[in-house]
Amino acid sequence: MSQRFRRPAYTDPASFDQREGGADPADISQAAHDTAHALVRQGRDSADPEITERFVRLAETEGIEAIAELWAHSPPRSLAGSLWRIYALRAAVQRSPERMSEYYRLGRSHSAPSAIAGVPEPPTAEEMTKLADMILAGMYAGDIDVAFDRAAAFCRVIARGQALWADTHRSPAEDARQLTSKANQLVRTAEELEASARAYRSGTLD
């Protein structure tokens, strides 16, 4: 996969770049659709754990910017758009595993049981990274709709933790507002991933 990509305005897993201009949008949309479906199909057809691992590490070998260039424009309820969101979530965990672990701990302590099973309480930073890998690997070695639902549950727990952090820590008002805004964006991301899961189960996911 080529490394020659423009760096997108990527800052947070809840902030999905919506740039305009450039190549024909129809061509971009078709390319995103084709690459997403080909990637998932190759991973699932191989039934090889090493191939699955390679796809999980795709953002590390190609760069999250390359992933964004492929799929960040895609509709939220699509395979390409959902893949982008899951890769971006994993990248966020890798950037700040300790902080994400704290958000997750807070969120789980105030949540009903989630769709994410087998996670120690409270999760360590290393366990958070493994959790993100597990969710992404589900795209290639498990049920795709379950992977979407797990990612959505992850978003909701993190969002709840962010909101609680903003409410309970003595941070500058602007920092608290930004964190609350990120939490709201993650809830929307969860809703989009849940919509993709429903579409996949009904056979209507693009």
DSSP conformation letters of 54-115 = HHHTHHHHH-HHHHHHHHTTS-SSSHHHHHHHHHHHHHHHHH-HHHHHHHHHHHHHTS---S
10 located within any domain: no
Quote the pLDDT of residue 54.
86
Among the listed residues 169, 108, 111, the one whose alpha carbon sits nearest the alpha carbon of residue 119: 108
Query: 25: cis peptide before it, omega within 30°?
Result: no
pLDDT at residue 30, as a whole number: 84
Per-residue model confidence (pLDDT) at position 6 = 33
Q: What is the pLDDT of residue 119?
A: 61
- Residues of the chain under the 70 pLDDT cut: 1-25, 111-122, 170-171
Q: Report yes or no on 140 lying in a domain.
A: yes
Asked if residue 2 belongs to a domain, the reply is no
Q: How far apart are CA 199 and CA 169, in angstroms?
A: 39
Domain containing residue 51: 25-202
The verdict on residue 170 lying in a domain is yes
Do 1 and 65 meet the contact criterion of CB atoms below 8 Å apart? no
Using alpha carbons, select from 43, 2, 12, 8 the residue that is nearest to residue 159.
Answer: 12
Strand-pairing partners, residue 15, are: 12
Residue 6 lies in a domain: no
Any domain includes 11: no
> Distance (Å, rounded) from C-alpha 169 to C-alpha 141?
40
pLDDT tens-place string over residues 148-201: 998 998 999 999 999 999 888 766 777 888 999 999 999 999 999 999 999 999
In a domain, 166, yes or no: yes
Query: 184 lies in a domain?
Result: yes
- What is the rounded distance in angstroms from the CA atom of residue 151 to the CA atom of residue 117? 12
Q: For residues 110-139, b (16+ Cβ closer than 10 Å) or e, as one string? A: eeeebbbeebeeebebebbbebbbbbbbbb
pLDDT reported for residue 171: 66
Number of domains making up the chain: 1
